[in-house]
Each structure stands twice: as structure tokens, then as C-alpha cells.
């Protein structure tokens, strides 16, 4: 059970649910809110503090819910508002906090706001989105690129202007420089706060503002390109994103947003996608001197352990050294997998023992943690054929980048039809190899990855030093990682062998935690 303290999130563990793929109760092959409610006892049994539910709002589903056409509506495919009310009630009964996913940087092009905005150049919502005249030669106003491919500008014949979209053309960017837009989004946020949600995951939190002068992004030389947040084959990595995101004006908006949240005792985790300034932003958004709370965002969801770089002892030590230097007052939220990246067991080619070792290390790090559904089963990435793809990002860059469908296939509950996910054909296939990793089988096996996750989560709950303590003496020596976690009550010495050979007196993939 979650203790009812205001800082439950600090050092807490959040379980991410991708609603399309968690549990279908209507037999249409897509998961729904009633399905989540039905499976909440399982989630609570893991010992986590909260769930983060990816978007379930009304949407044409071009980006599977990250394109919202009604911020206050539940998409019928996921159920009704009554289903949501029941879900939240059930979660609270089980001691779980509920965080929902706010996609504020852009809406769907089907949102009535955009329909109005694009109707003319002088309607009341004309500047609710980011519109610009073309250059004299008809080309877009600047060189900004969409993450999902091509220019970030889309021509609109009615206004004879371009509009900005950092993602799909059907995801126009809202203009945060317009105070009315901010107010509308804050009102929408309050609607959900009044429904009793405990917090928000803020999608693309550093994309809210763009440079009002629309200046070109400078190019990045090949040696300076990092493929941390977008795949290497994406030309988005060829620019320094100096002007299209991570603008200073965002700080004042985040303060407005946070003031509202704190009136309801709610919290936020902001997703920061920025290969160049991630740590600086982490400090700007979540930095708070010892004993104080952040004025902007409580936790920052960072990409350091979500990229393709092998997670060696040295890399972990380096990330924490950088963190100490650049973002000493920040509060990160770590994740190894999510609905956007290849599942880490496949990304790093991890045997089962290694999956367990990385789980233990993750749980021992300073910060909060997000676990992604199915990672507690050690699920590998699903291998899909081009014909099976649903994600436009993967369809655009296939086969060099296969998109995000491989990590979004349904949760596997049992060995029955479709792993117990749905009675009819699921929207993405359930791979045969996943069935062997279904929940029921792992519940019955004391050595399973699932039992290991439960044990590790329990360990964190029992040790205040793991949840909130300092982290120090971080060193890497070959495959050996060692560090200390300590608070007034206890000190823990952690040593991990992140290799498949014996090292420093530790078995392959052994993690040793010694109190004292």
C-alpha cells in the first residue's frame, strides 16, 4: 500500500500502462479502461506506487492517442468516463496513485481548436497554432524538421500559410506564446485534477515553446550528432535544436502549471527529449535546493538509459558524474523501456540473469523509476513484418528503423488465446515466444523474472536509503559498478557485476547489496 504522504513520488516506482495493449474486455482486439481496472490487483501486487496510463482521450489515433481531438473525452475504443471513474476508484482502493498522460504540445488536426484556427487568418483562434507565411519562393519559413520525417511545416491551402508540427502533419503544434492557449490547457488540466488524478506525465514537455522569430536551427557536424533520442537514420539528428524546442519561455509556463497542481497536491513527470541539453533542462525544470520542492516539474523523465548505448558500468557511472556536475539539485526518473523504444532485453541482448541484474541496479539508483508493462516478464521486442506495422514512424523509416510497434504488442497474461489479452485478433500480434513468458507461468516459478521484479521493488520500499538517500562513491571498474546509498537511518553498499563472466569475486550478473 502506498503511504499517503505528499512525496510518494520521490523515489517512487511508476508502472506504465499502454492502454491499447494491456487488457481487452470488449473483444475488439484493443485494450480498454475496464481491462486496466480488472488487472489493477496484479499491478498493485508488484508493489509499485503508481500507474502512468498512456493517452486514452478522444483521438483519430494517427499516433495512437498522442494526437488528441478532445482533451476531456474518453475515446470510445477505450470506454467511457464512467469506466475512468471506476478505474481511479479501484486504483485508490488498492493504494495506487494514478498519473495520466497530457499531450499539450500539440493536438490532433481534428481538434475543434485547429478546425477554427485554420478557417481564416483572423478568427478568434487564428494564432492558437503556429502559422507562418512561406518564404518568397514558396518554401517553408525555416529549416526545422519533424521527428517523424520531412519538414516540420505543412502547407494549408485555406490560409495559404504553413503550420508547425514537430511530429505528424496531423499533430499541429499549439502556440504557447498565446496566453489564451495556456489558459485553455490549464483549465483542461484542472478538469482532470477535479476527477481525482494524482499526477501527470507531460508528453514532450520541452517542446511547448518555439522561437517566436522562427530562426533556422544550426547544422550539427557528423561528429557532434547523438542518436540518443531519435534513431541514427533520422536527419533530425543533423541539427542543433536551438530554436524549435527547449526555449526559456517554458519555465514561466511550467511555474503556472505547477502552481495549479500543488493546489490539488498533484505531481508531474516531464518527458525531456533533447540530445544536447538534457541535463541542463533537468536542472532547470526539476532543480530544487535540499529540502525544497521544485517550482516547475517534480520529476524529469530522461532518455539516458533508453538509447541504444550499452548500459555498461562505465556508462552508468558517467551519467551520474554528469548529473552531479550539471544537475545536482534535480530529480530524475529512470526507465529502461517504454512504448517508444525497443524493449531493453533485446536492445542490449540480455540473458534472463542480466535482465534481473539491471532491474536490481535500476531499483538501487537515486531517482524515481518508470517500469513499462511486460518488462517485469523479461519480454523481448516483438519481431513484426512490414505488413503488420501500425506506427507511421516505423513505416517512414523502415527497415533501418522499424518503429515502435515491436514494444507495443499485447501484454501476455496466460497461455490461452492471444495470451489472455483478447478473445479476438489483437491490433498487433502476440508473438509466440511471449506466451512462454506469460504472467501465470512466471507466478508459478519462484526463479522467474517477475518474482525478481517484485523482490527488488519490495527491497526499495523497505529501505529508505534506496528511496530517498544520497548516492555516492560511484565507480566503474571493468564490468563492476559500485556505489553507496545512505541516509540518516542506514547505508547500503551496492556492487554489481554487469557481465557474463566472474569479476571482483562476483558471479556473472550478480548484484550484491550489503547493509552497514
Between 179-194 and 250-263, two packed helices, what is the crossing angle to 10 degrees? 30
From the candidates 32, 173, 203, 375, give the one annotated as an active-site residue: 203
Exposure of 106 in the CB half-sphere (CA atoms within 13 A): 27
- With CB under 6 A as the contact rule, the residue among 14, 43, 99, 103 that binds ligand ISL is 103
DSSP-assigned letters across all residues of 236-300: GGGB--SSSS--TTHHHHHHHHHHHHHHTT-EEEEE---TTTHHHHHHHHH---TT---SS-SEE
Contact positions with ligand ISL (CB under 6 A) in 28-87? 63, 66
Contact positions with ligand ISL (CB under 6 A) in 277-336? none
Q: Is 442 in the site for ligand ISL (CB under 6 A)?
A: no
Q: Strand, coil or helix: what is 52?
A: strand
Q: Is 204 in the site for ligand ISL (CB under 6 A)?
A: yes
* Euclidean distance between CA atoms 425 and 294, whole angstroms: 46
Contact positions with ligand ISL (CB under 6 A) in 120-159? 147
- Residues in the chain, how many? 516
DSSP letter for 382, please: P
Look-up of cell digits 488540466: 189
Whether 271 sits among the annotated catalytic residues: the reply is yes
- With CB under 6 A as the contact rule, the residue among 340, 376, 381, 405 that binds ligand ISL is 340
Q: How far is the CB of 61 from ligand ISL (least distance, A)?
A: 12
x/- letters, 362..401, toward ligand ISL (CB under 6 A): ----------------------------------------
Residue closer to ligand ISL by CB (options 182, 239) is 239
Residue closer to ligand ISL by CB (options 8, 340) is 340
Contact positions with ligand ISL (CB under 6 A) in 155-194? 167
Q: Would you call 202 exposed, middle or buried from its count of C-beta atoms within 10 A (0-12, 13-18, 19+)? A: buried
Q: Which residue is nearest to ligand ISL (CB)?
A: 273
Q: Does a cis peptide bond (omega within 30 degrees of 0) precede residue 399?
A: yes
For residue 511, give the H/E element and its range: strand 511-515
Q: How far is the CB of 448 from ligand ISL (least distance, A)?
A: 29
Whether 203 sits among the annotated catalytic residues: the reply is yes
**For residue 343, how far is the Cα from the chain centroid?**
13
From the candidates 75, 101, 244, 271, give the one annotated as an active-site residue: 271
Count of chain residues binding ligand ISL (CB under 6 A): 13
- With CB under 6 A as the contact rule, the residue among 2, 229, 330, 510 that binds ligand ISL is 229
Q: How far is the CB of 28 from ligand ISL (least distance, A)?
A: 22
Q: Are 96 and 87 in contact (CB under 8 A)?
A: no
- With CB under 6 A as the contact rule, the residue among 50, 193, 230, 323 that binds ligand ISL is 230
* Euclidean distance between CA atoms 103 and 92, whole angstroms: 24
Phi, psi angles (nearest 5°) of residue 299: -130, 150
Residue closer to ligand ISL by CB (options 66, 163) is 66
Residues lying near ligand ISL in the complex (CB under 6 A): 63, 66, 103, 147, 167, 203-204, 229-230, 273, 275, 339-340
Catalytic (active-site) positions? 203, 271
Amino acid at each position: 500500500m502506498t503511504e499517503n504522504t505528499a512525496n510518494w513520488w520521490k523515489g517512487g516506482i511508476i508502472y506504465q500502462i499502454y492502454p491499447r495493449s494491456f487488457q481487452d474486455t470488449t473483444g475488439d482486439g484493443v485494450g480498454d479502461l475496464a481491462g486496466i481496472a480488472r488487472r489493477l490487483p496484479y499491478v498493485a501486487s508488484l508493489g509499485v506506487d503508481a500507474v502512468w496510463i498512456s493517452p486514452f482521450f478522444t483521438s483519430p489515433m494517427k499516433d495512437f492517442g498522442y494526437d488528441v481531438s478532445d482533451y476531456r473525452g474518453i475515446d470510445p475504443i477505450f470506454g467511457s468516463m464512467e469506466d475512468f471513474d471506476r478505474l481511479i476508484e479501484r486504483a485508490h482502493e488498492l493504494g495506487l496513485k494514478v498519473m495520466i498522460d497530457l499531450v499539450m504540445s500539440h493536438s490532433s488536426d481534428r481538434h475543434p481548436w485547429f478546425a477554427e484556427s485554420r478557417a481564416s487568418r483572423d478568427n478568434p483562434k487564428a494564432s492558437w497554432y503556429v502559422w507562418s507565411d512561406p518564404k518568397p519562393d514558396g518554401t517553408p519559413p525555416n529549416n526545422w524538421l519533424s521527428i517523424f520525417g520531412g519538414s516540420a511545416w505543412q502547407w494549408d491551402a485555406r490560409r495559404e500559410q504553413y503550420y508547425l508540427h514537430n511530429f505528424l502533419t496531423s499533430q499541429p503544434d499549439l502556440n504557447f506564446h498565446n496566453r489564451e492557449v495556456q489558459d485553455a490547457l490549464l483549465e483542461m488540466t484542472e478538469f482532470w485534477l477535479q476527477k481525482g488524478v494524482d499526477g501527470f506525465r507531460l508528453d514532450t514537455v520541452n517542446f511547448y515553446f518555439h522561437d517566436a522569430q522562427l530562426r533556422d536551427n544550426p547544422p550539427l557536424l557528423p561528429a557532434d550528432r547523438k542518436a540518443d533520442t531519435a534513431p541514427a537514420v533520422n536527419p533530425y539528428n543533423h541539427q542543433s535544436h536551438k530554436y524549435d524546442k527547449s526555449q526559456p519561455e517554458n519555465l514561466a509556463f511550467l511555474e503556472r502549471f505547477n502552481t495549479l497542481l500543488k493546489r490539488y497536491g498533484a505531481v508531474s513527470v516531464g518527458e525531456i527529449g533533447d540530445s544536447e541539453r538534457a541535463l541542463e533542462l533537468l536542472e532547470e525544470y526539476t532543480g530544487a535546493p535540499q529540502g525544497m520542492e521544485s517550482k516547475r516539474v517534480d520529476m524529469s523523465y530522461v532518455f539516458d538509459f533508453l538509447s541504444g548505448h550499452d548500459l555498461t558500468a562505465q556508462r552508468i557511472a558517467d551519467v551520474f558524474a554528469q548529473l552531479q556536475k550539471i544537475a545536482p539539485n534535480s530529480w530524475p526518473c529512470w526507465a529502461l523501456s517504454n512504448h517508444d523504444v525497443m524493449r531493453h532485453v533485446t536492445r542490449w541482448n540480455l540473458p534472463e540473469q542480466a535482465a534481473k541484474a539491471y532491474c536490481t541496479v535500476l531499483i538501487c539508483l537515486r531517482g524515481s523509476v518508470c517500469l513499462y508493462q511486460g518488462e517485469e516478464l523479461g519480454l523481448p521486442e516483438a519481431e513484426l513484418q512490414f505488413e503488420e506495422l501500425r506506427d507511421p514512424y516505423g513505416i517512414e523509416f523502415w527497415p533501418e528503423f522499424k518503429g515502435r510497434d515491436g514494444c507495443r504488442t499485447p501484454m501476455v497474461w496466460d497461455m490461452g488465446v492471444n495470451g489472455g489479452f483478447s478473445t479476438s485478433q489483437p491490433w498487433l500480434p502476440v508473438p509466440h515466444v511471449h506466451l512462454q513468458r506469460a504472467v501465470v507461468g512466471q507466478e508459478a516459478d519462484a526463479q522467474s523474472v517477475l518474482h525478481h521484479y517484485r523482490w527488488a521493488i519490495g527491497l526499495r520500499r523497505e529501505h529508505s536509503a534506496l528511496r530517498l538517500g544520497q548516492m555516492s562513491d560511484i565507480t566503474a571498474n571493468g564490468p563492476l559498478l559500485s556505489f553507496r546509498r545512505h541516509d540518516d537511518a542506514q547505508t547500503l553498499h551496492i556492487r554489481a557485476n554487469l557481465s557474463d563472466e566472474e569479476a571482483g569475486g562476483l558471479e556473472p550478473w550478480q548484484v550484491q547489496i550489503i547493509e552497514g
